[in-house]
Amino acid sequence: MTEKAATPLLLLHPSRGLIDEKFSLMVQNLSQIQEITLHALIHSDDGDYWEAFGHYVSDATGLVNVANDSSLGGTYDGVKPMGLLWSMRPVPGSRIGLRLRKKEVHTPMLVHISVYRGHMSQGFKEQVALASVVTERWYMSPGVRRVDITEGGITGTLFLPPGPGPFPALLDLWGGGGGLVEYRSALLSSHGFVSLALEYMTPRTSGGTDIGFCSYLNSAAFTVLKQHPQVCGDRIAILGLSFGTSVALGMAVYSTVIQPRCLVCVSGSHVQPVKGSLSDVFSEINKNVHNTRYDEENRVIWRDLLLPIPTDPTKKVDVGQLKCPVLMIVGEDDQNWPATESAEDMKQMMEKAGNSHLLTTLSYPGAGHLIEPPYSPHIRASNFMVAGTRQKFVVLWGGETAPHGYAQEDSWKKTLSFLEEHLYRSTEVTSPSNL
């Protein structure tokens, strides 16, 4: 009488964790040298499905260990323990220009992971999985509190770590699409920082897109943080992505209210009319609108609109006046902003001014514009609506999947170290160490 084959077993640990936490994944009880496909599936808050998959072969004991074994194909290859997350893409037949962003941060991202017989690249719904598990990926750790803020003329969401505090804090600024984006702030709070995600450049924030009003909003937001009883008022940083970097740099240099302990600037530029309005910024950009390019799929490439980097000092933030440490994060394949050229010009300006010791630049080959928390899918292009004009485009952000995934993981780890150094450990503003 033949012995019945054991049922394949899919083991994942931890089954619940933060979005930036690694997991271990193994498949046991396979046949020797058996071909399998590991498949991950997410149903997003927008109602779309995203997937990733890798092709593996079990060893002589019938085991696949994703931490050690190489994917032979799929949406990623090689030994990539978290490839099932950062290589995710919309399933075939999805809407054009999707971007995976968590809207409801008080609920987890549910990732369904299954193992299938053979090396598959499509038709997963039509097949029966050998085994399946579900993992919860959270932006909010247990005990983090989410508080709506509508005071002092600002609209935003405050995230507070567990405990009485006081804690260091961050003002979290997103890009030119405007709106209120919470997931990064929720994750920062899960790492021990009070974080205020600020809504700006939208009709609901009554000043709309006027940069003067944006400056007011950010001054008011900074004051809200500074006066909060659970915040260390002299330990506040600003984190900006894309246009949020421009706002952060401008405020740090020219505001009489805002005195950040440090800045984190992701995929941005210092090029903007000094003390100008947002209409002035767009006017400068529109002067170069003829430099707009399109790729073979007619996706918009905007990186040339700020090039060449101006030599006129009235057209860029005088970063030589910065008095706090700055971490610049740059994707070398950024197709939306000239982040590489801007970082180099900032370095030259600060060297000339004698404050270059305050600047640390992390530059990543093959990374694009949208450098997100780790294990987020690489978004090479997506739909984008310009705040103010409400014009819609499919924008090319740039980057290649594997190097972009590395950039997200490495830069996030170094961002948290940078913030811990200057907000928790530092007793005075010092030059950043080599990260």
**What pLDDT, in 10s, does the model give residues 209-233?**
455 555 656 678 888 899 999 999 9
d(CA 188, CA 196): 10
Catalytic residue among 369, 378, 404, 422: 369
Q: Is the pLDDT of residue 68 over 90?
A: yes
> Looking at the structure, do residues 126 and 173 belong to the same domain, yes or no?
no
Residue 432 within any structural domain of the chain? no
- Taking only the tens place, the pLDDT of each residue in 70-88 is 999 999 999 999 999 999 9
Look at phi and psi of residue 225 and say left if phi exceeds 0, alpha if psi is from -120 to 50, else beta.
alpha
> Residues 339-356: what's their mean pLDDT?
97
For the chain, how far is it from start to end, CA to CA, in angstroms?
Answer: 62
State the pLDDT confidence band at 4, using cuts at 50, 70 and 90: low
> Looking at the structure, do residues 348 and 251 belong to the same domain, yes or no?
yes
Pseudo-torsion of CA 363, 364, 366, 370, nearest 10°?
-90
56 touches 37 (CB < 8 A):
yes
> Looking at the structure, do residues 228 and 357 belong to the same domain, yes or no?
yes
Report the DSSP pairing between strands 326-331 and 359-364.
parallel
Q: Is the pLDDT of residue 3 over 70?
A: no
Cross-strand bridge partners of residue 326: 263, 359
Catalytic residue among 190, 195, 242, 376: 242
191 is known as an active-site residue = no
State the pLDDT confidence band at 385, using cuts at 50, 70 and 90: confident
Q: Is the pLDDT of residue 386 over 80?
A: no
Which one, of 209, 86, 201, 105, lies nearest residue 155 by Cα? 201
- For residues 200 and 389, the model is more confident at 200
> Looking at the structure, do residues 302 and 416 belong to the same domain, yes or no?
yes
Within 93-250, strands assigned E span 109-117, 131-138, 145-151, 154-160, 167-173, 194-199, 231-241
> Residues 322-344: what's their mean pLDDT?
97
- Taking only the tens place, the pLDDT of each residue in 239-293 is 999 989 988 998 899 888 889 999 999 999 999 888 666 666 766 777 777 788 9
Residue 357 within any structural domain of the chain? yes
> Looking at the structure, do residues 231 and 191 belong to the same domain, yes or no?
yes
> Looking at the structure, do residues 334 and 241 belong to the same domain, yes or no?
yes
Report the range of poorest mean pLDDT among 16-20, 133-137, 148-152, 282-286.
282-286
Catalytic residue among 20, 172, 334, 345: 334
Q: What confidence score (pLDDT) does residue 179 get?
A: 82
Q: Is the pLDDT of residue 206 over 50?
A: no
Kindly report the average pLDDT of the chain as a whole number. 90
> Looking at the structure, do residues 63 and 191 belong to the same domain, yes or no?
no
243 touches 175 (CB < 8 A):
yes
Residue 434 within any structural domain of the chain? no
> Looking at the structure, do residues 206 and 315 belong to the same domain, yes or no?
yes
Share of the chain above pLDDT 70, in %: 89
Q: What confidence score (pLDDT) does residue 290 get?
A: 76
Domain range for 389: 145-424
> Looking at the structure, do residues 292 and 333 belong to the same domain, yes or no?
yes
339 touches 373 (CB < 8 A):
no
Q: Pick the last residue of a domain from 90, 122, 138.
A: 138
> Residues 342-360: what's their mean pLDDT?
98
369 is known as an active-site residue = yes
For position 110, which CATH number holds? Answer: 2.60.40.2240
> Looking at the structure, do residues 281 and 417 belong to the same domain, yes or no?
yes
Q: Which two tokens stand for residue 72?
A: 């032979």
Residue 3 within any structural domain of the chain? no
> Looking at the structure, do residues 51 and 151 belong to the same domain, yes or no?
no
Q: Is the pLDDT of residue 106 over 90?
A: yes
> Residues 338-363: what's their mean pLDDT?
97
φ/ψ (deg, to 5) at 350: -75, -35
> Looking at the structure, do residues 132 and 150 belong to the same domain, yes or no?
no
Q: What confidence score (pLDDT) does residue 148 get?
A: 95
Q: What confidence score (pLDDT) does residue 11 get?
A: 97
Residue 270 within any structural domain of the chain? yes
d(CA 430, CA 427): 9
Q: What confidence score (pLDDT) does residue 165 get?
A: 87
- Taking only the tens place, the pLDDT of each residue in 392-430 is 889 999 999 999 999 999 999 999 999 999 999 865 433
Q: What confidence score (pLDDT) does residue 212 get?
A: 56
Q: What confidence score (pLDDT) does residue 220 get?
A: 85
Q: How far is CA 86 from the centre of its chain?
A: 12
The number of domains in the chain is 2
242 is known as an active-site residue = yes
- Report the 10 Å Cβ neighbour count for 123: 9
Residue 337 within any structural domain of the chain? yes
Q: What confidence score (pLDDT) does residue 287 get?
A: 73
Q: What confidence score (pLDDT) does residue 435 get?
A: 32
In Å, how far are 125, 279, 388 from 113, measured between CA atoms? 13, 47, 41
Cross-strand bridge partners of residue 396: 381
Share of the chain above pLDDT 90, in %: 77
* Sign, Cα dihedral of 70, 76, 80, 84: negative
Q: What confidence score (pLDDT) does residue 367 get?
A: 98
Q: Pick the last residue of a domain from 103, 138, 173.
A: 138
